[in-house]
A and B are shown apart, each in its own frame.
Chain A
């Protein structure tokens, strides 16, 4: 037989670990509703947009030393529509709508992140 008993245990535990991480993220990280879209380039904050203030579709060109990305923001969330990088993983990852979710463009070192209420509360305290 090709697969031993211990192999099955390994495969099942990897899948269970995936489920566990998914549930943990759902329970503790993605709970807050989406509030802002944050754009980071090279680890530094590039721009922040409040979702509540967006009407219709807002198109943002993110220009960095590494390349160019086009981001589309609606009331619901954000999605990358164009990228200068070769793999286009950020475009393929589609729309993000929940707090904590993000789009990553590794070659251009661009991150687009949705932040929720909790982050804002922290800001108010420190402010």
Chain B
């Protein structure tokens, strides 16, 4: 039986997932010290991946951008906003595209790595535009390694969580 996407229950779940994403982003920022400038684990990406599967691309994008906006204001401040927003936009977009074209050949872990890679790439792109220097790309190798590791870790997290949430089909479209 197909359930309505915008039922009161689903809207509630979207709101809760937005809040969970904000908290994950905030907690991660407080606890983990990045070894590389601009690098991060991206725990909130777990929520983003779940959203793509639960509510589809458009909703996932809206929830993620809202989460990135509020979460960054809480933890990073206004100056971090352009990086975070651009990174989130391209990361979610790439994951949606990869999911529609390559899932399930590419699993959740692969999607997460793609998202993390694009996030860091967009971040550097924005930084090189803001500071107006191509030398910013010298940070790319370190950030790509961070993306490969963090993407795999968060992807596995999303897989474990997704298997449990999606199994009962309760809130799936």
Contacts and interface: CB of A to CB of B under 8 A. Distances in A.
A83 B15 CA distance: 37
B152 interface: yes
Interface residues of A, number: 34
A111 interface: yes
Contact of A104 (B33, B77, B127, B152): B127
Contact of A92 (B37, B80, B133): B37
Contacts, number: 98
B156 interface: yes
Q: How large is the interface on B (under 10, 10 to 19, 20 to 34, 35 or more residues)?
A: 35 or more
Contacts of B152: 3, 11
Main secondary structure of the interface of B (DSSP, over half): helix
Interface residues of A, dominant DSSP: mixed
With a 10 A CB-CB cut-off, give which of B80, B135, B152 has the most chain A CB atoms. B135
Contact of B132 (A43, A87, A102): A43
Interface of B: 33-34, 37-38, 76-77, 79-80, 83, 102, 104-107, 109-110, 113-114, 117, 127, 130-133, 135-138, 140-142, 144-145, 147-148, 151-152, 156, 159
A102 B127 contact: no
Contacts of B142: 18
29 contacts: A2-B109, A2-B156, A2-B159, A3-B109, A4-B104, A4-B106, A6-B107, A6-B110, A7-B109, A7-B113, A10-B106, A10-B113, A14-B144, A14-B147, A15-B148, A17-B144, A18-B141, A21-B137, A21-B140, A21-B141, A40-B131, A89-B34, A100-B135, A104-B127, A106-B83, A106-B127, A106-B130, A111-B131, A111-B133
